[in-house]
Amino acid sequence: MSQAVDEIKIGGLGASRKRVEDSRFIRGKGNYTDDIVLPGMLHMEILRSPLAHARIKSIDASKAWDIPGVHLVLTGEMMATRNLAWMPTLSYDTQAVLATDKVRFQGQEVACVIADDPYIAKDACEAIVVDYEPLPVIVNPAQAVADGAPVIRDDKDNQPDNVIYDWEVGDRDGTDRAFASADLVSKLELHYPRSHPSPIECCGSIADFNRATSKLTVYMTTQAPHIIRAAVAMVAELPEHMIRIISPDIGGGFGNKVPVYPGYVCSILASILLERPVKWIEDKSGNLISTGFARDVYLKGEMALRRDGKILAVRMHTDADHGAFFSDAQPSKFKIGLMHSAFAAYDVPVAHLTARGTYSNKAPGGVAYRCSFRVTEAMFFQERMVQAAAADLGMDQAEFRRMNFVPDDAFPHRTPFGFLTDSGQYAKCLEVGLKAIDYDNFRQQQAQARERGRLLGLGISTMTEPLGAGNSREYDILGIKMFDSAELKVHMTGKAIVRTGARGQGQGHETTWAQIVAHELGIPADDIVVEEGDTDTAPFGMGTYASRSTPVAGAAVAMVARKIRAKARKLAAHLLEVSEEDVEWELGRFYVRSAPDRGVTIQECAIAAYANMPDGMEPGLDATAYYDPPNLTWPFAVYIVTVEVDPDTGVWDVLNMVAVDDCGIRINPMIVEGQIMGGLTEAYAMSNMQFITFDADGNCVGSNYMDYLLPTAWETPGFELHSEVVTPCPHHPIGAKGIGECAAVGGPAAFVNAVMDAISATGVRNVDMPLLPDRVWEAITYRRDVSGAPPVRSDD
């Protein structure tokens, strides 16, 4: 006689199961790209441009060739003979692999050297002499569209200026009408600074072309190995079945490891030419100055308001600086990503968004850094505009939000920009957050402190964001629809292996995918191994970014387990000698409806699939599922921060931070909380210290960890997390939603709103992130807005 199993005991849904992947990481036995050594492997280093915009007059690599141990020096000219000097980007643009005519940003790849060891390769890079003729430099969108601006992309036909796109969404006329009837129009302009995801592990690859088999194997730091395989097939003109991309352990990704980088392409060509494995491991400066940046968007926002606080309409214009090449990884229909997800949580009758993208002499990217394609900017703009509007109305920040939230009974709700939100309990989340921060009491303390000259502030950020791109109707990258996949093989002893088209980088897929299978089949999670990242074995998927793993690949895992359960039911009926209709399921076992004591376990069904299947049944217990989600998932979050600002120095300290996240059903609460804390820390980083800027000559400021400040354990505040509000996603098979990025998306506005609240008596409307002490001090002292837009200000 068998019994149903206890879901938590077997590590199913809701179990804070300890992570499987930890046992290798805590022993130093992870297997990251740089840890891999292949026989005969050579090492590649890249020579980068010191100038932001210059014509290349000549490249003399003869001294590099002369250094013992150098096997190959690649330049743009040599790449061009193989039609590899340029490559397509994920946004229908082109990007230089190695520069031929010009360099267009500081840090651009100019040449590379392949040598016996990385030290020799670096020596050889220094021996290459490049003669540059400097050209005028553009570091922001205003310069890009100014009269007489140099055309950066003169390599392209039909590109007479620096504008990449002009895009719009929403109802222009309706919005104009609503503004005309408004009691009050609240305006805000600001810049979301350029940032870099900056995983601690830099990018790298080991290309291994085998002439005998014609097979190319590439180990690389990629969050999306199948997309890379397709891209390599296109760029290198190799047949796709002869390309194997292996993404080993990844030391953090955060969106930085989605695009195709020149270094990958060069290592592949070098391996093909030399017929030896070629390893390229980027250094930190190379990573920060050349690979996918994020943000760098300017907002002009306007909100039409009724006197009582009701939002009548929203108008937004964004200017995005994409750098020298439009190489964002965005769904192809949406030029500025999901910027139009702004105001999804608010009942806004009508809205209009215009967006312009421009080139500059800065590194390309615009990647979704812990973000679903610009939702980070969207939610920051939204929450800064909401704060400004409430202040303009003289209304309480919480009350203004409460009044304008989409109410719980209004779902499904069509947002003014066309998204369909399907569920949420926004006001309830806000109440949990306000109670946790002791809102009314804090406001009293704040008033008392102000009388004594102390500046306390409280910032709220509330938002719902679209996670889990996508549904295939609307979401594709280069035409490839954004579904995902899972394959499940149950072995005869009831143990199993799951493979998906996602690729974790610390999110704990090896732990949580097994929990979903445990939930669906009752097989203990410890009996299930999870494997991802090898395109020769994993089913096709679009990879891990934009918080899409749980919404899409995780859903595929549940669906494939259900396919297995359906077959196991037939096996159970056979074993129990009853018809399939008479078989009932409870976790881990089938039983006869009329005789519940008569049952068989899932493990007994598994062995029957190999040893005792009914006549005519296909043997084995394997399945693959491709999952195309019907909609995005819409987690909701409330972040509330209290701060104290020192009026003499502009330094601000976090007093408390409360996070209320409604991400639906939590597969592994421990891991979910880890994701939230990581996101909050990045939010704090962006608001407080972390940014990349440029001087007027296009020199990158923030090109290493001495200039690009990341918070340490010392300054990172503590966080209080709340999980009381649970609204299961109505369409996800297990009710889960994305969570990885929520805190990084919604968090920054909470910190900034808190500081702006603290200095509200100055009348200052905006200080651009990061809120460095000198900027806050300037705002307090001179009572003026402070812009952080490049070029950086000089003292003279």
* Helix (H/G/I), strand (E/B), else coil: 791: coil
Of the candidate spans 29-37, 303-311, 758-766, 787-795, the one that interacts with another protein by CB under 8 A turns out to be 29-37
Q: Which of 8, 129, 146, 200 binds another protein (CB under 8 A)?
A: 200
Q: Which of 17, 741, 765, 775 is catalytic?
A: 741
Whole-number Å distance between alpha carbons of 730 and 139: 45
CB of 316 to another protein, least distance (A): 30
Q: Which of 14, 30, 50, 620 binds another protein (CB under 8 A)?
A: 30
Residue 206 one-letter amino acid: I
Whole-number Å distance between alpha carbons of 294 and 296: 7
Whole-number Å distance between alpha carbons of 305 and 187: 11
Q: Which of 4, 38, 67, 145 binds another protein (CB under 8 A)?
A: 67
Q: Which of 3, 6, 8, 35 binds another protein (CB under 8 A)?
A: 35
Residue 223, φ and ψ in degrees, nearest 5: -85, -10
Q: Which of 95, 143, 223, 387 is catalytic?
A: 223
CB of 750 to another protein, least distance (A): 15
Answer whether 52's CB lies under 8 Å from 693's CB: no
Whole-number Å distance between alpha carbons of 725 and 666: 11
Of the candidate spans 23-31, 171-179, 322-330, 640-648, the one that interacts with another protein by CB under 8 A turns out to be 23-31
Answer whether 204's CB lies under 8 Å from 330's CB: no
Q: Which of 195, 290, 404, 681 binds another protein (CB under 8 A)?
A: 681
Token reading at 298: 């300017």
Whole-number Å distance between alpha carbons of 759 and 562: 56
Whole-number Å distance between alpha carbons of 141 and 100: 25
- Please report whether residue 508 would count as binding another protein according to CB under 8 A: yes
Residue span 452-491 as binding mask against another protein, x where in contact by CB under 8 A, dash where not: ----------------------------------------
Of the candidate spans 84-92, 151-159, 514-522, 674-682, the one that interacts with another protein by CB under 8 A turns out to be 674-682
Written in H, E and C, the secondary structure of 181-217 is CCCEEEEEEEEEEEECCCCCCCCEEEEEEECCCCEEE
CB of 252 to another protein, least distance (A): 4
Whole-number Å distance between alpha carbons of 435 and 679: 22
Whole-number Å distance between alpha carbons of 514 and 405: 37
For residue 571, what is the enclosing H or E element?
A: helix 555-576
Angle (nearest 5°) at CA 788 between 783 and 791: 130
- Please report whether residue 719 would count as binding another protein according to CB under 8 A: yes
Beta strands (DSSP E) in 368-519 are: 413-414, 420-421, 455-464, 476-477, 480-481, 484-490, 496-500
Whole-number Å distance between alpha carbons of 210 and 242: 10
Enumerate the β-bridge partners of residue 414.
420
Nearest CA among 532, 436, 446, 522 for reference residue 484: 532
Q: Given the complex with another protein, which of 335 and 548 has the nearer CB atom? A: 548
Q: Which of 194, 370, 499, 503 is catalytic?
A: 370
Answer whether 256's CB lies under 8 Å from 198's CB: yes
Q: Given the complex with another protein, which of 384 and 548 has the nearer CB atom? A: 548
CB of 107 to another protein, least distance (A): 15
Per the annotation, the verdict on 778 as an active-site residue is: no
Per the annotation, the verdict on 370 as an active-site residue is: yes
Of the candidate spans 297-305, 506-514, 646-654, 779-787, the one that interacts with another protein by CB under 8 A turns out to be 506-514
CB of 153 to another protein, least distance (A): 32
Of the candidate spans 177-185, 418-426, 703-711, 749-757, the one that interacts with another protein by CB under 8 A turns out to be 703-711
Residue span 245-264 as binding mask against another protein, x where in contact by CB under 8 A, dash where not: ----xxxxxx----------
- Please report whether residue 34 would count as binding another protein according to CB under 8 A: yes
- Please report whether residue 32 would count as binding another protein according to CB under 8 A: yes
CB of 738 to another protein, least distance (A): 16
Answer whether 629's CB lies under 8 Å from 731's CB: yes
Token reading at 56: 């290349």
Per the annotation, the verdict on 223 as an active-site residue is: yes
- Please report whether residue 289 would count as binding another protein according to CB under 8 A: no
* Helix (H/G/I), strand (E/B), else coil: 249: strand
- Please report whether residue 1 would count as binding another protein according to CB under 8 A: no
- Please report whether residue 706 would count as binding another protein according to CB under 8 A: yes
Of the candidate spans 563-571, 613-621, 643-651, 699-707, the one that interacts with another protein by CB under 8 A turns out to be 699-707
Q: Given the complex with another protein, which of 76 and 679 has the nearer CB atom? A: 679
Token reading at 788: 């952080």
- Please report whether residue 19 would count as binding another protein according to CB under 8 A: yes
Enumerate residues 6+ apart whose C-beta is below 8 A from 674. Answer: 508
Beta strands (DSSP E) in 136-182 are: 163-170
CB of 295 to another protein, least distance (A): 16
Q: Given the complex with another protein, which of 286 and 301 has the nearer CB atom? A: 286
Token reading at 608: 């029957």
CB of 200 to another protein, least distance (A): 4
- Per CB under 8 A, residues contacting another protein are 18-19, 21-30, 32, 34-35, 37, 66-71, 116-117, 119, 198-202, 249-254, 283-285, 505-508, 670-671, 673-674, 677-682, 704-706, 710, 712-714, 716, 718-719
Which amino acids are annotated catalytic?
223, 370-371, 741
